[in-house]
Amino acid sequence: MPIMHSILRSVAVGRLISYPRLSASLKKMAAVDAAWNQIAGKGHPSDNAVVARLLHKSPDVAPLRVAIERHGYEFSGLSVEKVWVTSVNGLRLPYDAILWLVVEQKNSVIQPCVPSDGPYPAASGSA
């Protein structure tokens, strides 16, 4: 019977606030990014899109990339949901979000996960 493998598509990292360097980096980048409205505390086209783009280019994401690659996956992007905003010197800046890494398996050859004999008996044709 072949071994069945699950292939990851994404990894939940959790809340960004649990990673103080990433949170600080996000605030710093959003303070000068044209797509983040620092007065309204909103991103254009969306909060999630702007925060994901800013984090993707942050060098502080590198340790997460390395961790993923050690397990046979490649970092292909990230996504965020539920962006939290705080006030810093009169500016409304993102500091927290739920973070997901989007991953792809390195050099993957996907094999079917259906055993040749199957766990179920063959249909006999009689009802």
In a domain, 16, yes or no: yes
Note whether residue 3 is domain-resident: no
State pTM to two decimals: 0.76
**Across the chain, what does the average pLDDT equal?**
85
6 occurs within a structural domain: no
Residue 120 counted as domain residue: no
Flag whether 101 is in a domain: yes
Average pLDDT over residues 15-25: 95
24 sits in which H/E element: helix 20-30
Predicted local distance difference test score (pLDDT) of residue 8: 79
Residue with tokens 């280019």: 57
Is residue 50 domain-resident? yes
Domain count of the chain?
1
What residues have CB less than 8 Å from 90, skipping those under 6 apart? none
Taking residue 81's Cβ as centre, other Cβ atoms within 10 Å add up to 12
Average pLDDT over residues 29-43: 97
Residue 53: inside a domain, yes or no? yes
The b/e string for 112-121 (b: 16+ C-beta within 10 A; e otherwise) is eeeeeeeeee
Its domain, for residue 25, covers 12-105
CA 82 to CA 23: how far, in whole Å?
14
Write out the two tokens for 43: 């991103």
At 50-77, the pLDDT tens digits run 999 999 999 999 998 888 888 888 889 9
- Of these ranges, 33-37, 105-109, 123-127, the one predicted with the greatest mean pLDDT is 33-37
In a domain, residue 29? The reply is: yes
User: How far from the centroid of its chain's Cα atoms is residue 34's Cα?
Assistant: 23
* pLDDT at position 98 over 80: yes
